[in-house]
Amino acid sequence: MHGKLIGKWFTVILLSYAITSLSLFAAEPPEIAAKSYLLIDYNSQVVLASKNADKRIELASITKLMTAYVLYKELEKGNVSKNDVVLISEKAWRMKGSRMFVEANKKVPFERLMNGLIIQSGNDAAVALAEHAYGTEASFVSRMNSEAKRLGMTNTHFTNATGWPDKNHYSTANDIARLTRTVISEYPKHYKEYKIKEYSYNGIKQYNRNKLLWLDPTVDGVKTGHTESAGYCLVSSAKRNGMRLISVVIGTDTVKERSFASQQLLEYGYQFFETNKVYAANHALEEIRIWKGEKEKVAVGFIDDFYVTVAKGSYSSLKGNISYESGIDAPIYRGDKLGKVVLKNAQDKVVLEAPLEALETVTGGGLWRKVTDGVQKVFH
């Protein structure tokens, strides 16, 4: 697929060039007392605020997001079942830190352990579930690292299923946000469990450590973490008027500070930004000429819904440019990148670039089509 780029300016559907009276620039993000942090929009994946987002940090119990994600995969495959009963090993029983207080050599329903993992952040539950799914925690951790690699978490490595401190157990705010977004998008039914505020097992009632669940009704997750070396950490997500944000705060000094810092980031995002769906998935923006195929044109657009996040009040000023390759030969496969869309604001600054994708597959044509198109292409 080679050829010169052809550009075409257009006004984004449902938008105009009118500049609103509101500011086109967002305010500066708040000062956050944390080692690193990140705020992104869930749909557009645009970064709204960040500090040291690619710096290696200790995961602590945020690790259990990946532990749960791997277990969701095993449930989906049928390798484990929510109706399973899990035999608790002595290793699981002896785990220190946050626990749901299971007893060695007792059998506990799989679902109860999942609740203990997510709501109570139980280290004993994490080890018991890992052993149940993969035989040993080490084998389970190998799968965690495989999933991290597959998801593009390039600065993450796990050595256990709990988040217990280890110099080779680390991640970054960016990677954590990527994992969080994946959990929410791929397993929305399971994600609902992250907003449960309390859970009882073995006669002991424990509360979700994410205090934002009590302070902000729009917050519906996600996960806390703490060790002396990592500090207090919190991954949070909220949804207001259809706009979901994900916040990652790493390394504050107290529980109160991690909650306050997370709330500050969320309030900043909702006050100064807006997210809109520019195009629906599979909506054809253009049909472009291709050569030597079963048909002469291929529809291009976006395989997934296309969102943009901008400063509040600036959405109506956006304009877009489609550029695509000419001289493209079949075959073309759905999802092939054939050009790009660039959105600019009223100051002619690029807001977002996104690849223009083939919305259909076009196979190669017969011999006659190849010969005639080959001749026409020379003079095109």
Binding-site annotation: residue ranges for substrate: 223
Is 121 considered catalytic here? yes
Residues comprising the binding site?
223
Cα–Cα dist 267/219, whole Å? 11
As given in the structure block, the two tokens for residue 270 are: 């909702």
Catalytic choice (36, 50, 61, 89):
61
Cα–Cα dist 284/303, whole Å? 10
Q: What is the DSSP string of 144-171?
A: HHHHHHHTT-TT-B-S-SS----TT-BB
Catalytic choice (35, 64, 292, 319):
64
Catalytic choice (50, 98, 121, 314):
121
Q: What is the DSSP string of 100-161?
A: ----TT-EEEHHHHHHHHHTS--HHHHHHHHHHHHSSHHHHHHHHHHHHHHTT-TT-B-S-S
Length of the chain (residues): 380
Is 16 considered catalytic here? no
173 conformational bin, left if phi > 0, alpha if psi -120 to 50, beta if neither = alpha
Residue 199 neighbours by CB distance under 10 Å: 19
Q: Are 53 and 36 in contact (CB under 8 A)?
A: yes
Give the catalytic positions in this structure.
Answer: 61, 64, 121
